Amino acid sequence: MPPARKIGYFTAWSIYDRAFAPADVAVERLTHVNYAFAKLEGNAIALGDPWADVERPSPGAVYGDGDLRGNFGDFNGERSAVRQRNPHLRSLISVGGWSWSGGFSAMAASEHTRAEFVRSVADFLHRYRFDGVDIDWEHPVEGGMDGNPHSPDDARNYLLLLRELRQHLDHDAPPPPRFGRYEISIATSAAPSVYRHLDLGAIAQVVDHINVMTYDYAGSWSQATGHQQNLFRPSAGDSGICGHDTVSDYISRGVPPDKVVLGLGFYGRGFGAVGHHGSPVAGLPGLGCAFSGVPSGTWEAGSFDYKHLRTSHLKHDSGYSVHWDDAAKAPILYSAAEQVLITFDDTVAVSWKADYALKRGLGGIMIWELSQDHEHELLLKICEYLG
């Protein structure tokens, strides 16, 4: 069995307020970087942020004629200092995401428009020296951002799109820059109501691996507080989804274990006005309780980067206490004074997940997203298990 994948998403917007550049990525510890995101313009792949992607000069870099600039240059340039730190790193361009999946349904609906997209992907990979593509259609048939078009034929068209992409990249595209074959991956939901539409077994025959987004089980949309990425069924606040059940269902639907990549969110979800509702489980205050609203987060309401939690809420004088749900293998943070509960993954929780991936023979671990870690703490813990 090949070494487990350690896939980290790098977001183009990390270079701005987050002040996290490709040089800050622990590329030595990763097998793959998925760059988020490219978008669809018409039926073709297009740059998501031209300045960040291909225009920004990197501090200290010396560019020759034809050298790539921007984040793409840092990850893919032949003379890039980042690339030289790990020549074996595979970089994939991720297309779509939550905000830019609206064009997939129409693009995938006909052979002609699919062919236009496929050709554009091949040209994009060659031009910017990527090692493959990650299709992040959120989501075929149902789900995703409000207002995104859907069709009952989306699932069938998605499979056709992936098959045609595989055929073109293998036989008709310019050769890959570094490795013998372009990789194709997809990102998929952990919600059965969403992934039930996909022929996962057939898709697995086409793609190299499937990044399962086994997080966001609970949040502002929930009826009660709950873990947002628990590995097993919890003691309270059961959303009906857990990592183990999702993985098992994917495998039962025909996906080989070594093509299932378990997703980890390097962030937590918060719930407000929790304390006065009581506590249904001893030792886990606020879990499984009603709530009202969400607290201010790191960059958006209710969402907390792990580095934010690590440097504030996890300090001994923060007013928050950590509680471990041994059934779920997941922690919570709770403040009685603020009536706030935050569910997240710490080093212990990611240890359980990395060990689980190893013992089940999964394809590895996927991280959303790298800028949210604290001094590579969670990533290094994963590497203790996966190498």
User: What pLDDT, on the 0 to 100 scale, is given for residue 255?
Assistant: 98
Share of the chain above pLDDT 70, in %: 98
Mean pLDDT of 60-64: 79
Mean pLDDT of 226-250: 95
Tell me if 314 is assigned to some domain.
no
Q: What is the mean pLDDT of the chain?
A: 96
Share of the chain above pLDDT 90, in %: 92
Tell me if 286 is assigned to some domain.
no
How many domains would you assign to the chain? 1
DSSP characters for 36-74? EEEEEETTEEE-S-HIIIIIPPPTT----TT---HHHHH
User: What pLDDT, on the 0 to 100 scale, is given for residue 3?
Assistant: 80
User: What pLDDT, on the 0 to 100 scale, is given for residue 281?
Assistant: 77
Catalytic residue list: 138
User: What pLDDT, on the 0 to 100 scale, is given for residue 24?
Assistant: 98
Tell me if 95 is assigned to some domain.
yes
Mean pLDDT of 256-263: 98
Q: Tens digit of pLDDT for each residue in 304-324?
A: 999 999 999 999 999 999 999
In this structure, what CATH number is given to the domain that contains residue 374?
3.20.20.80
In this predicted structure, the answer to whether residue 1 has a pLDDT above a threshold of 70 is: no
In this predicted structure, the answer to whether residue 105 has a pLDDT above a threshold of 80 is: yes
Q: Residue 24: which residues within 8 A CB-CB, separation 6 or more?
A: 371
DSSP type of residue 191: -
| Domain of 34, in residue numbers | 5-265+346-386
Mean pLDDT of 163-180: 96
Tell me if 308 is assigned to some domain.
no
Q: Quick one: pLDDT band at residue 66, thresholds 50, 70, 90?
A: confident
SS3 for 170? helix
Q: Tens digit of pLDDT for each residue in 265-290?
A: 999 999 999 976 566 677 899 999 99
